[in-house]
């Protein structure tokens, strides 16, 4: 709907954006406790009652994450329990070191809230009285030049609250982890710098839903909200959101866990597909299929050409943005697009003053080691 300033718009009050991920985001949100619940009246974090009683699900849950540094030898209780359908996102419990290097949850710690940074062995959301014997590993690596993981056995392998880059089998990527990107969106909005030229305020996610998988609501809150909660002095309209976080009890049928369960007795290794499918309700280009970063069907000779570009790459999105700008008469454009002549992708992004000020504040107060690519990569037009 039209905003109060020339050329500016704002979201209708009854419109909300919900983000769904079939698996816990890589990075900080994936560092969650592995529990031993022998003789405990509660179920594992993020598990439904029927999943706990299903040995196939339990076995494939183990295979879906990296193997802990040391094996868990004691038996986990597998009797089904009645669980709430939703776990409140503000539930937080400390756990402290117990016997034999494991962790024991004190029954009176349910109202305390852990800090956003520190060893993984000091934080977690777990049933009262349960013992934390390890943590799930994330393949996302800490950014160079900053604090790193202790990589000690068991619960002290990871340091939580740190910025990380996406996991990968080849050379280390410069792309930040999904947990970090969601945390940034929760402060700056998910619209990006270009669309901010036309918006009076950022577009924030109303809710984040994660599919049936190893999951901790406290780890999600720590990763997405907690690390930025202290950020202040943001430009008008920007603020850290209290994002609602939920977990679905449905398993994505094409997830690694589901596929491994179906192929439990089949030889060979399950390898993830390199294809990505993008769908949108746009009649001209509803589906975009890319393989390893290029449009499906592109040959080696066509790499770098228009035919090989994905419709969601930066160049294509920038061209769509320029078409939008050119369709508006100059006197009806937002002030930020009238004050000076802009040409390159970098210049248009930098001209979104409020967004850039908010991003600068966030980096200074919370994400100082965020990897930023050279402006040379964004000088296209």
Distance from C-alpha of 178 to C-alpha of 27, rounded to nearest angstrom:
6
- Written as six digits, the tokens of 104 are 């024991």
C-alpha to C-alpha distance for 181 and 201, rounded to whole angstroms: 19
Beta bridge partners of 276: 290
Considering only CA atoms, which of 261, 211, 45 is closest in space to residue 133? 45
Cα Rg for the chain, rounded, in angstroms?
Answer: 23
Question: What is the percent of the chain where pLDDT is above 70?
Answer: 74
168: three-class secondary structure by DSSP:
coil
Predicted pLDDT of residue 40:
34
Confidence of residue 71 (pLDDT cuts 50, 70, 90): very low
CB 251 within 8 A of CB 257: yes
pTM for the full model? 0.76
**Nearest 10 degrees: Cα torsion 152, 157, 163, 164:** 100
- Going from the C-alpha of 158 to that of each of 28, 112, 171, the distances in angstroms are 9, 22, 21
* pLDDT at residue 141 greater than cutoff 70: yes
Cα separation, 114 vs 110, in Å, equals 11
At 190, is the pLDDT very low, low, confident or very high (cuts 50, 70, 90)?
Answer: very high
pLDDT of residue 116: 54
pLDDT at 307 over 50: yes
Mean of the per-residue pLDDT values of the chain: 78
Most confident of 16-30, 143-157, 161-175, 292-306: 16-30
CA 287 – CA 275 distance, rounded (Å): 13
Q: Mind listing the pLDDT tens digit for each residue in 222-234?
A: 999 999 999 999 9
358-372 pLDDT, tens digit each? 999 999 999 999 999
CB 230 within 8 A of CB 366: yes
Residue 364 CB: number of other CB atoms within 10 A?
11
């Amino acid at each position: 709907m039209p905003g109060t300033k020339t050329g500016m718009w704002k979201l209708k009050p009854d419109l909300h954006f919900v983000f769904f991920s079939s698996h816990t985001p890589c990075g900080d949100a994936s560092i969650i406790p592995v529990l031993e619940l022998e003789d405990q009246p509660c179920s594992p974090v993020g598990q439904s009652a029927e999943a706990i009683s299903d040995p196939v699900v339990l076995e494939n849950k183990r295979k879906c994450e990296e193997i802990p540094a040391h094996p868990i030898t004691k038996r986990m209780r597998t009797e089904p329990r009645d669980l709430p359908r939703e776990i409140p996102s503000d539930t937080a419990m400390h756990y402290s070191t117990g016997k034999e290097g494991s962790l024991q949850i004190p029954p009176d710690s349910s109202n305390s809230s852990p800090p956003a940074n520190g060893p993984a062995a000091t934080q977690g959301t777990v049933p009262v009285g349960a013992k934390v014997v390890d943590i799930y590993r994330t393949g996302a690596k800490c950014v160079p030049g900053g604090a790193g993981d202790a990589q000690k056995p068991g619960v002290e392998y990871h340091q939580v609250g740190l910025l990380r880059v996406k996991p990968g089998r080849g050379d280390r990527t410069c792309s930040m982890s999904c947990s970090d990107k969601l945390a940034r969106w929760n402060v700056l909005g998910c619209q990006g710098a270009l669309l901010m030229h036309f918006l009076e305020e950022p577009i924030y996610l109303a809710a984040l839903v994660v599919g049936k998988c190893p999951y901790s609501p406290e780890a999600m809150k720590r990763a997405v909200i907690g690390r930025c909660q202290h950020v202040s002095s943001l430009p008008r309209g920007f603020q850290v959101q209290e994002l609602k976080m939920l977990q679905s009890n449905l398993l994505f049928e094409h997830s690694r866990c589901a596929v491994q369960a179906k192929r439990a007795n089949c030889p060979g290794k399950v390898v993830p597909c390199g294809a990505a499918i993008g769908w949108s309700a746009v009649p001209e280009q509803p589906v975009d299929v890319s393989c390893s970063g290029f449009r499906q069907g592109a040959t080696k000779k066509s790499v770098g050409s228009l035919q090989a570009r994905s419709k969601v790459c930066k160049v294509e999105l920038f061209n769509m943005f320029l078409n939008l700008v050119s369709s508006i008469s100059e006197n009806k454009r937002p002030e930020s697009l009238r004050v000076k002549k802009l040409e390159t992708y970098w210049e248009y992004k930098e001209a979104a003053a409020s967004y850039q000020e908010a991003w600068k504040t966030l980096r200074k107060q919370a994400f100082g080691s965020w990897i930023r690519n050279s402006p040379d990569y964004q000088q296209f037009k």
